[in-house]
Structure 1
Amino acid sequence: MSELRTVDEATFDEVVLRSEKPVLVDFWAEWCPPCHQIAPVLAQIAADRADQMTVVKLNSDENPSISARYRVMALPTLILFHHGEMIWSVVGARPKARLQKELDDALLTAV
């Protein structure tokens, strides 16, 4: 399973906000056990949906201004962006099937 691409304050706008495809951002931190729990699920979703969306990770401790911009108060927080706009977010780890359903619902309403 491949490692997810990492974004930071220098690359966030280009990779996330200017993307043609929807981008799911995983706001995480090294000290966060649920963040590590959901990481393999996100890697699977990234591989399964590579043609549909991009999945990236952003370390909240190392990029506090982006976390503050999107009011990330707990980790992990997943935010789905489409055409530069935040269209969906959720806090906490979840099973793959549930997360895929939630993403499908969010993408359907965004189109």
Structure 2
Amino acid sequence: MLIVDKDTFVPEVLEAEGFVFVDFFGDGCEPCKALLPHVEKLAEEYGDKLKFTKLNTTKARRLAISQKILGLPVMAIYKGGEKVEELVKEDATTDRIEEMVKRYALAE
């Protein structure tokens, strides 16, 4: 998984080709930490079909707000510079994240 920050988010996510998965997390977010092993497993499994990135919103608050990230965890899919789908807070379950990843990984 590629770690992005305020300097690399635009080229790595918004200007990237194809679908990009972004795991928005924060330093004190326990649900984020609990989901990380599952997300990393999906990245290993589908990383050849979907670009996987993660952004620490604690270190990029303005960027998070500009992307309308108001609570954590948030798992989002981007394409062509636009957010096409996201799972927020209690909707970000392991099953729903996997469904979302499969939908876009198998779409290409």
Looking at secondary structure, tell me which structure has more helix per residue.
2
2:34 matched to 1:37?
A: yes
Relative to the length of structure 2, the TM-score reads: 0.87
* Partner Cα distance (1:98, 1:89) in 2: 10
Paired residue type of 1:98: R
What are structure 2's unaligned runs of at least 5 residues? none
Q: Tell me how far 1:54 sits from its aligned partner.
A: 1.1
- Show the counterpart of 1:103: 101
Per-residue CA deviations over 1:50-71 (Å, capped at 9, x if unaligned) read 1111111111111011111111
Q: Which runs of 4+ in 1 moved over 6 A?
A: none
* Partner Cα distance (1:71, 1:42) in 2: 21
Paired residue type of 2:101: L
Question: How many correspondences in the alignment?
Answer: 105
What are structure 1's unaligned runs of at least 5 residues? none
Q: Percent identity?
A: 27
Paired residue type of 1:102: M
Paired residue type of 1:22: F
